[in-house]
A = this chain, B = another copy of it.
Amino acid sequence: MDGHWAPERLRSMPSWLINQTSVRAHRLVSEKLSAVDAHRYHYSTLAALDELGAMSQAELGRRCGLDRSDVAAVVAELADRKFVRRVTDADDRRRNIVSITASGRRRLTTLDGLLRDTQKQLLVPLSAAEREDLVRLLLRVVEDAAADRPQS
């Protein structure tokens, strides 16, 4: 209601709008997660392990779009808190096989609830149908980008 808006060129530029939204989303999500001493990467990792089963850190990184070095740090944190088990693969001793634990699943449920609330807060001006539209459009963009960058 200020009456002073951003220039039209920015208000109609997808990359600018996406970035503005991303900054806000990041702030909301980080606040909520840090309140329970969690991190965005923790959620991505737990979700991947829960849905797709145990896998190596490298594949974890590919699935979630994380760098190997960041995966190593996150897995170490999750393993410390027993949300995740990490054992070296007997068939390929370069790999660490990471799997989610029972308490990891409970943790994931907690974070699910937290993040569901946050999404609602972020998209409060949109109807349910519009939120689905937004997700569908963004998903197509993200998958197109993933197709561009062959590996990883």
A residues near B, CB below 8 A? 1-2, 4-22, 24-26, 28-29, 43-44, 47-48, 50-52, 59, 62-65, 112, 115, 118-119, 122-126, 130-131, 133-135, 137-147, 150
Contacts and interface: CB of A to CB of B under 8 A. Distances in A.
A33 to B, nearest CB: 11
A126 B141 contact: yes
A51 B7 contact: yes
B134 A20 contact: no
Nearest to A6: B63
A138 B15 contact: no
22 contacts: A4-B62, A7-B44, A7-B51, A9-B51, A11-B139, A12-B139, A14-B119, A14-B131, A14-B134, A15-B25, A15-B26, A15-B118, A16-B44, A17-B135, A18-B25, A19-B25, A19-B26, A20-B65, A21-B138, A22-B22, A125-B143, A134-B134
Contacts of A133: 133, 137
Contacts of A62: 4
A18 B21 contact: yes
A107 to B, nearest CB: 14
B138 A124 contact: no
A146 B2 contact: yes
